[in-house]
Amino acid sequence: MRLNLRFIIAIIVAAVSLFGYYFNTSKNEVTGETQHVSMSAEQEIALGLQAAPQMAAQYGGESPDARARAAVQQVGQKIIASTKAGQTPYKFQFHLLADDQTVNAFALPGGQVFITQGLLKHLTTEAQLAGVLAHEIGHVVGRHSAAQVAKSNLTQGLAGAATIASYDPNSPASSVAKAAIAAAITKVITMRFSRNDELEADKLAVDFTPQAGYDPRAMIQVMQILQQQGGRGSTPEFLSTHPDPGNRIVQLQQEIAAEFPQGVPAGLKQ
């Protein structure tokens, strides 16, 4: 009887998780894709604003270099004003962080975009900065964080259902082992989706940068800079938080060739 009750509860938990995921869908107006998300744009904005101060503090807060901060803001806002990103409800803000040792850039849901002084100092052109910021903007408008939250809720719900179903009161350690396996599976699934998110963010950046007047090939230069930094010792944090799908330079070259089959137009800022 207890066994049947556990399975019934597990089935209910799994069903609620599955229904909650597959019936919460929304069409992304920028990418055209139908996504499984459980947060509204307003909730994404609120979440990003709430988390921004804590995230900035981890990297020494805002950079004291006013000119560099203004340059980051100017390039970021130029991309927003020139692309579909400016037609979304997101409230974009661009932050230059004081940490000059960590090579990283990232975005929070809702439009909070960050780049460290450590990455900025390795960039040699405005177009390279535009490529980095456009990639992060791509994560925001692609709603990647919201989609990750929905996927996490699904996998946690299914993992919880598996734990309930497999729990053996005569062998409590069995639930710990099952939970560990479920967590490992969750990590693998999340990593796979993250790689897809990176490819989409790259593709969106290839679209956004030329619309704002920048040569998209500067993104390839950024990848080469990051590879050089990785070859000198520790891997840049950017490559840790942005999983490499194999050869992103090749992927970028293919995206650019598909976008501009006659060649990249002349006159774009390099």
pLDDT digits (tens, 9 = 90+) for 191-209: 344 678 888 999 999 999 9
Q: What is the 3-state secondary structure (H, E, C) of the chain?
A: CHHHHHHHHHHHHHHHHHHHHHCCEEECCCCCCEEECCCCHHHHHHHHHHHHHHHHHCCCCECCCHHHHHHHHHHHHHHHHHCHHHHCCCCCEEEEECCCCCCCEEEECCCEEEEEHHHHCCCCCHHHHHHHHHHHHHHHHCCHHHHHHHHHHHHHHHHHHHHHHHCCCCCCHHHHHHHHHHHHHHHHHHHHHHHHHHHHHHHHHHHHHHHCCECCCHHHHHHHHHHHHHHCCCCCHHHHHCCCCCCHHHHHHHHHHHHCCCCCCCCCEC
Q: What is the pLDDT of residue 155?
A: 52
pLDDT digits (tens, 9 = 90+) for 10-21: 455 445 444 454
Q: What is the pLDDT of residue 270?
A: 86
pLDDT digits (tens, 9 = 90+) for 20-64: 545 566 787 777 787 667 778 888 888 888 888 988 999 999 999
| Lowest mean pLDDT, pick from 52-61, 205-214, 237-246 | 237-246
Q: What is the pLDDT of residue 76?
A: 98
Kindly tell me if the per-residue pLDDT of 225 is higher than 80: yes
Q: What is the pLDDT of residue 164?
A: 44
Average pLDDT of the chain is 78
